[in-house]
Amino acid sequence: MGDNQRPASHPAVYSSEFHTSVFELDNLPDAGLPEIAFAGRSNVGKSSLMNRIFNRRNLVKVSSRPGYTQSLNFFIVNSGIYFVDLPGYGFARAPKHVIRKWHRLVEGYLENSRNLTGVVCILDIRRRPDPMDIDLLNYLHAIGHTIWVVLNKADKISQPRRKARLKEIRQALPPFVSTTFTVSARTGEGIIPLLNAILPEAD
């Protein structure tokens, strides 16, 4: 499990590598490492955000086609923590059996992983959180997970319009969400404050 031999792009992440893709709950890795999961609506930029954090162009597979990520994808960060890319929800055209499988896999993981430190819940800053987003947040809160709410694609909203967007989004979020992180996977804006929150003990 060597490092990337790349210059440190960020004070908190100095190495990242793909570990495994999990399609069945029986195959979850049992290394006992702490895990941080990335969840959110399909196409919101989960995989892109992870690439940005890793400073890798395509370590995590990205597609403009919604529903691209279908498995739980485990990456080892800084040789000691898993970042887990989850398949997105709300992919309207997904066949029913795919949606059922998503629920089994993702919920089974979220409810049973003993190593989950928290879940990064990603929203599109251009859109009001919808009932599926709110359901996910309430569900994670109910099962006791730490949640970081991230508003991605900030590059798509001009500075003058941001304040009103943030206000609208925050009003729609459940009251237990006290902080949001505005980021752009495309430009890298906001990534350092996010990492400082999710990796508090990083150098």
Residues that bind Mg ion (CB under 5 A): 46-47, 69
Judged by beta carbon distances under 5 to 8 A according to partner kind, the member of Mg ion, ligand GTP, none in contact with residue 64 is ligand GTP
**What Cα–Cα distance (Å) separates residue 199 from each residue in 3, 12, 75, 115, 137?**
18, 7, 15, 15, 21
Question: DSSP readout, 104-123?
Answer: IIIIHHHHH-TTEEEEEEEE
Minimum Å distance from CB 162 to Mg ion?
25
User: Minimum distance between the CB of residue 62 and Mg ion, rounded to whole angstroms?
Assistant: 6
Which residues of this protein are in contact with ligand GTP, per CB under 6 A?
40, 42-48, 62-64, 66-69, 87-88, 152-153, 155-156, 184-186
**Element housing 52 (H / E):** helix 46-54
What is the closest distance, in whole angstroms, from the C-beta atom of residue 203 to Mg ion in the complex? 28
Of 14 and 148, which CB lies nearer to Mg ion in the complex structure?
148
Q: Nearest-CB residue to ligand GTP?
A: 88
Q: Which is nearer to ligand GTP, 17 or 155 (CB)?
A: 155
Which is nearer to ligand GTP, 18 or 31 (by Cβ)?
A: 18
Q: Please, what is the minimum distance in Å from the beta carbon of residue 30 to ligand GTP?
A: 25
Cβ proximity of 104 and 89 under 8 Å: no
162 binds, among ligand GTP, Mg ion, none (CB under 5 to 8 A by kind): none
C-beta of residue 19 within 8 angstroms of C-beta of residue 99: no
99 near 132, Cβ under 8 Å? no
Q: Which two tokens stand for residue 44?
A: 């919101």
Contact between 52 and 42 (Cβ < 8 Å): no
